[in-house]
Amino acid sequence: MLVKICGITTIEAADAAVKADADFIGFVFAESKREISPEAAASIAASIPTSIKKVGVFVNETVENMKRTAEVVGLDIIQLHGDEPAEVAEQLPYGIIKAFPAEKEALENLKTYPCDYCLLDTPGKRSRGGNGSVFDWSLLENLQLDHSNIILAGGLTPENVERGIKKVKPAAVDVSSGVETDGKKDITKIRKFITNAKQTRKDEDS
């Protein structure tokens, strides 16, 4: 089970994710309480092993700005978390994660979008992602999706990630607010989330 820890803003949180065996570390370059500057992200990214993919999260940003930020930080993957059309993804020479709100109409579109991973998130009323609420996982049951490239997000915590994995069977899980305490990344929660997520798939395979 692949695990993405998103909304990283400190070296301490990044180090905890690295030591706990995270597969992706995400930086938010969009309006958010977890927003980080490219320069600050680059400083943190310098301490992250090359085996862990560095993801930049953008919302309706220009291709030029995304490329510039990716170069400064050393991103491996760009996550498009807005209303970006397929043409935007096709212009980016990076791996692509495309976020889709868990609504039937939007989920139908993900089958043809040019991306490496489809991230399914709880629809946000005010902000894109990081809302801490779970969507109805049963929405995915009759859509005939390729679960080998799905990242499950939206309200996951160390306590419910096992249920989410067993219900949706994604390739990866993504968490941000679910490993925070008082709005800050919690080292203990990061470790527990990653351990529980990876142990779930091992239990299923055994």
Which residues does the annotation mark as catalytic? 6, 121
The whole-angstrom separation of Cα 14 and Cα 22 is 9
Cα 115 versus chain centre, distance: 14
How far apart, in Å, do the first and last CA atoms of the chain sit?
A: 14
115: nearest Cα among 101, 129, 95, 93: 95
Helices (H), the chain: 11-19, 38-45, 63-73, 86-90, 104-109, 161-168, 187-205
Q: Tally the residues of the chain.
A: 206
Give the list of residues 6+ apart from residue 85 with CB closer than 8 angstroms, or none.
Answer: none
The whole-angstrom separation of Cα 52 and Cα 15 is 11
SS3 160: coil
